[in-house]
Amino acid sequence: MGVTRRVFLRAAVAATAAGAAGATTTALAGTAAAAGSPPGDVVGKVTVGYQGWFACIGDGAPINGWWHWTQNWGQPPSPSNTGIKCWPDMRDFTHGYQTAYANLGNGQPATLFSSYDQQTVDTHFSWMQQYGIDTAALQRFNPTGGEGPTRDAMATKVRSAAEAHDVKFYVMYDVTGWTSMQSEIKTDWTNKMSAHTASSAYARQNGKPVVCIWGFGFNDDNHPFSTAACLDVVNWFKSQGCYVIGGVPREWRTGGAGTRTGYTDVYHAFNMISPWMVGAIGNAGDSDNAYTTYTVGDEADCVAHGVDYQPCVLPGDVSGRQRAHGDFMWRQFYNMCRAGVQGIYISMFDEYNEGNQIAKTAETQAWVPTDSGFLALDEDGTACSSDYYLRLTGDGGKMLKGQIALTATRPTSPATGGSTPPPPSDLALHKATSESSHTQVYGSGNAVDGDANTYWESANNAFPQWLQVDLGSSAATGRIVLALPPNPAWGARTQTVSVQGSPDGGTFTQLKAAAGYTFDPAGGNTATITLPAGSTARYLRLTFTANTGWPAGQVAALQVYSS
């Protein structure tokens, strides 16, 4: 039987007292997670901060400007008008907006994405799904001003993408500079944002919809809220049935110049505390110091007060050369996991403004505008693939969940061509599917659910039949692997299959002519369809015209790989 919350709380308090008497403060390391809430959509999970705040003139957004890409939103991005510190990898986006930068080092035009395009949000959430990121915290600033309509639209787009890609999301209010926050945040939740909790993708913890309030207790003019106002807001959200996270200063417990005094009751009123670390650490040594100074004591304090603890991990500022090809970020993962934290918050997914994004980023100068001065991920001489920090985040999540052992050594090679390249990702996993028909409970979703024992089976004696997957965005499609259940009872058979591809689900072109593919349980019951070089598609449709083992199309696994 596992340690109960009550038993562990007593042990944690005793350990804290022992530490004060001279015992090591690392006595809690690796065990504190047992004291937290049970696993949910934030406890035991990796959450990424999602800005979704980039727009471009011509994208149809109400804000009608180069929102957050530039200082002057009315003019296109250029070396003298920029709001970012590094350049995104644009290869997965179907629409780019022309900037005033020079071409990339490879001669391609310097374009940027708009978060207002649904395909952009779908692409971002497909990355989250692909790389094992559990939850996205949608940043929501004061929605009563000119940015409000665009932010309202972004919430709807994020909801759609989260539902389509099986990723959870929740609203994270950033109260920075929000003068009438105390009343307006309640109105905004009641009239607008609470409606999104009806989504199957809205994050829940302990059965309650999650909401975060970032900015209480910070000691600056942009966060002047009194203790009473903060407590009123936290308790109001809790009275609405919400599980409330607090984005708080890193010195919330220790005290210091960054936090206001007298806010202890506010901090302990939250269901979860998530201290902010951007600007506080910049190398692995800083992370170790933060572990000793903040993390271990914070975890013990939270345990003693029945609060969950979700510290912040950041990849580092590309322009500040902080990343050290992943060593900086991995040291934080290691320190958080050995402290036994309840969850991890990544700052941020798409924060190209601070250079702290994990989203795909230019990997070499070939993918950076030649006149920009921006660094690429290989700035320290180590080749890094554009998705490296997504891969590293996925590994950090596995360590948090105990799926890989606690290790201070990065398990992931920076470049996919390194000595330990990660396995190729299945682009079809958990993606939306459709079909010409199915029998009984054997629907098309079974082909992409990751379970080799469930399968799609079409109507019998009614060839041709088809099975289709929506990859979420156009992607390179090099091969398709089909599988039947591994059970030997599924005897060998040959199915005749052709493949078509489409960018929009309406117009299809043939990628592979009909051919017979043999499935033999002695060889794993799989078959591979190699597509022509250069094939790209968002929608892939497989048409079945024959099956020597059963008069129907049958697929237990439909896997799609870029190469």
Could you tell me how far CA 190 lies from the centroid of its own chain?
27
In the chain, which residues have pLDDT < 50? Answer: 1-34, 418-419, 421-422
Residue 333: how many CA atoms within 13 Å on its side-chain side?
Answer: 31
SS (H, E, C) 251-300: CCCCCCCCECCCCHHHHHHCCEEEECCCCCCCCHHHHHHHHHHHHHHHHH
Joined tokens for residue 552 = 């129907």
Model pLDDT, residue 563? 78
Whole-angstrom Cα distance, residue 536 to residue 448? 19
First to last CA, the chain: 46
**For residue 65, which of 80, 51, 77 has the smallest C-alpha distance?**
77
Whole-angstrom Cα distance, residue 91 to residue 112? 10
H or E stretch at 500: strand 493-502
User: Which amino acid, one-letter code, is at 440?
Assistant: Q
8-state DSSP, 532? P
**For residue 188, which of 208, 167, 174, 202 has the smallest C-alpha distance?**
174
Sequence-separated (6 or more) residues with CB below 8 Å from residue 187? none
At residue 361, what are phi and psi to the nearest 5 degrees?
-135, 150
**For residue 162, which of 140, 139, 144, 137 has the smallest C-alpha distance?**
137
Whole-angstrom Cα distance, residue 391 to residue 93? 19
What's the burial of 160, exposed, middle or buried (CB within 10 Å: 0-12/13-18/19+)?
Answer: middle
What confidence tens digit (pLDDT) does each residue in 485-518 have? 877 789 999 999 999 999 999 999 999 999 999 9
Joined tokens for residue 497 = 């299959």
DSSP string, 2-19: PPPHHHHHHHHHHHHHHH
User: Which amino acid, one-letter code, is at 315?
Assistant: P
3-state secondary structure of 445: helix
Whole-angstrom Cα distance, residue 130 to residue 124? 10
| Torsional sign, CA 190, 192, 195, 201 | negative
User: Which amino acid, one-letter code, is at 264?
Assistant: T
8-state DSSP, 102? P
**For residue 202, which of 142, 237, 240, 242 has the smallest C-alpha distance?**
242
Whole-angstrom Cα distance, residue 269 to residue 230? 10
Confidence (pTM): 0.71
DSSP string, 26-88: GGGTTTGGGGSPPS-SSTTSEEEEE------TTS--TT-S-TTT-SSTTS--BTTB---SS-B
Model pLDDT, residue 487? 79
The domain locations on the chain are: 27-400, 432-561
| Torsional sign, CA 227, 230, 233, 236 | negative
**b vs e for 223-257, b when ≥16 Cβ sit within 10 Å of the residue's Cβ?**
bebebeebbebbebbbebebbbbbbbbbbbbeeee
What confidence tens digit (pLDDT) does each residue in 167-219 have? 999 999 999 999 999 999 999 999 999 999 999 999 999 999 999 999 999 99
Whole-angstrom Cα distance, residue 360 to residue 90? 8
Report how far apart, in Å, the C-alpha atoms of 539 and of each of 117, 170, 302, 381, 482 are.
Answer: 19, 29, 47, 38, 16
What are 521-524's contacts with CB under 8 Å, separation 24+? Answer: 521/484, 521/486, 521/487, 521/488, 521/490, 521/491, 521/492, 522/492, 524/483, 524/486
Is the domain spanning 432-561 CATH 3.30.1330.90? The answer is no
Residue 436: how many CA atoms within 13 Å on its side-chain side?
Answer: 18
Longest dimension (CA), the chain: 78
| Torsional sign, CA 271, 164, 553, 491 | negative
**b vs e for 69-87, b when ≥16 Cβ sit within 10 Å of the residue's Cβ?**
bbeebeebbbeebbbbbbb
Could you tell me how far CA 523 lies from the centroid of its own chain?
36
Joined tokens for residue 559 = 């896997």
| Torsional sign, CA 195, 197, 200, 202 | positive
What's the topology of domain 27-400?
A: TIM Barrel (3.20.20)
**For residue 210, which of 220, 218, 219, 202 has the smallest C-alpha distance?**
202
DSSP string, 115-170: TTSHHHHHHHHHHHHHTT--EEEEEE--TTSTTHHHHHHHHHHHHHHHHHHT-EEE
Model pLDDT, residue 392? 97
Report how far apart, in Å, the C-alpha atoms of 520 and of each of 119, 448, 452, 486, 530 are.
Answer: 39, 20, 15, 9, 18
